[in-house]
């Protein structure tokens, strides 16, 4: 529960700090599925692109829904990852997980998380790409159900399940780098968490980015299969079309991940201190 709470809170802080880059990369991934994608692409630098979104008042579209999604995603993921990790470590009597153990546990935790939170991310994509300022997360979810049925909330679930590999790769690489540096997984400092979190996220983002593009378009397009979208993107823009928005996404993902691991460790340290104080007070009362 400590890891779940700290992961959830740190995720909210991290995504709030980097949200303009989330908006930009999502619009670029969506490409021709939305009207303003092409106009955004004409700008040469990320600064200009963000400035254009700011002028339109669309820089923070969907922020509240994204915060809800991140809070739920990180809480569920870290709760199951840490619970399953402790069960495994208790059985093996070891201090650290192996790479394969981290991968399997991460995949199971990620699959559960992706399924539970997919409706939030489907609504979030619509909110980001919408010009309306009055839409809410609940209102958008209701609108999706009204127009296309409940199952429409799970559009993009297939690529989302594939994207489970992103945090799996990231967290497994993070864990293994941590194991090389520290004897115990509990000894890592917040600053080193920041560095290792950034490195592991770069690798994971580059490897899985085409699937992120497909997932974004799946949330917006009707009656088109994953294979169909993949063929259309490659036909219209070539292989590089699968990597549109990669630059802002890497910057956003790396910063978000690094901040997440940093704040998660900070919050964990505070929670541990509070728990120790509570235990001492309990012992004194006894």
Higher per-residue pLDDT: 285 or 160: 160
Distance separating alpha carbons of residues 135 and 10, to the nearest angstrom: 26
- What pLDDT shows up at residue 170? 80
Across 1-5, 17-21, 40-44, 78-82, least confident range: 40-44
DSSP assignment string, 112-163: HHHHHHHHHHHHHHHHHH---SS--HHHHHHHHHHHH-GGGGGTTHHHHHHT
Q: What pLDDT does residue 184 have?
A: 62
Q: Are 82 and 139 in contact (CB under 8 A)?
A: no
Mean pLDDT of 92-113: 85
Quote the CA–CA distance of 255 and 276 in Å, as a whole number: 31
Mean pLDDT of the chain: 81
Question: Average pLDDT in the 77-94 region?
Answer: 88
Q: Report, as an integer, the average pLDDT of 58-63.
A: 82
Average pLDDT of the segment spanning 31-53: 64
pLDDT greater than 60 at residue 159: yes
Residue linked to tokens 């609940």: 138
> Residue written as tokens 């870290």?
78
CA torsion sign for 173, 204, 7, 46 is: positive
What average pLDDT does this structure show over 193-220?
83
Which ranges in the chain belong to alpha helices (H)? 2-30, 37-41, 46-56, 63-92, 99-129, 137-148, 157-162, 165-181, 190-220, 226-237, 246-285
Q: How confident is the model at residue 104 (pLDDT cuts 50, 70, 90)?
A: confident
Exposure letters 55-68 (e unless 16+ CB within 10 A, then b): eeebbbbbbebbbb
pTM: predicted TM-score of the whole model, two decimal places: 0.62
- The pLDDT assigned to 145 comes to 92
Query: Is 219's pLDDT higher than 80?
Result: no
- pLDDT value at position 201? 81
Task: Report which of residues 201 and 108 the model is more confident about.
Answer: 108
Of 155-169, 173-187, 245-259, the one with minimum mean pLDDT is 173-187
Q: 230: which residues sit within 8 A by CB, 6+ positions away?
A: 210, 214, 242
The third-level CATH classification (topology) of the domain covering 2-285 is Mitochondrial carrier fold (1.50.40)
Query: Nearest-CA neighbor of 249 among 46, 82, 14?
Result: 46
């Amino acid at each position: 529960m400590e890891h779940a709470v700290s992961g959830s809170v740190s995720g909210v802080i991290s995504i709030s700090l980097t949200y303009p880059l989330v908006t930009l990369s999502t619009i670029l991934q969506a490409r021709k599925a939305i009207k303003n994608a092409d106009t955004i692409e004409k700008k040469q630098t990320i600064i200009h692109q963000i400035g254009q979104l700011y002028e339109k008042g669309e820089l923070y579209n969907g922020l509240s829904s994204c915060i809800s999604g991140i809070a739920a995603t990180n809480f569920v993921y870290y709760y199951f990852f840490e619970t399953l990790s402790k069960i495994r470590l208790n059985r093996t009597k070891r201090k650290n997980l192996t790479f394969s153990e981290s991968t399997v546990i991460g995949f199971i935790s990620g699959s559960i998380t992706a399924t539970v939170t997919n409706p939030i991310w489907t609504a979030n994509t619509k909110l980001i790409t919408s010009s309306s300022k009055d839409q809410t997360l609940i209102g958008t979810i209701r609108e999706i159900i009204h127009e296309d049925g409940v199952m429409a909330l799970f559009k993009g679930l297939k690529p989302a399940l594939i994207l489970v590999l992103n945090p799996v790769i990231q967290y497994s690489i993070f864990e293994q780098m941590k194991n090389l540096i520290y004897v115990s997984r509990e000894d890592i400092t917040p600053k080193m968490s920041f560095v290792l979190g950034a490195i592991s996220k770069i690798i994971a983002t580059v490897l899985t980015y085409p699937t992120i593009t497909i997932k974004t378009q799946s949330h917006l397009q009707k009656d088109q299969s994953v294979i169909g979208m993949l063929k259309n993107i490659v036909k219209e823009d070539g292989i590089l079309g699968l990597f549109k928005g990669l630059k802002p996404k890497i910057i956003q993902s790396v910063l978000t991940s690094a901040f997440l691991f940093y704040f998660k460790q900070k919050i964990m340290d505070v929670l541990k201190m509070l728990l120790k104080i509570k235990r001492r007070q309990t012992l004194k009362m006894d």
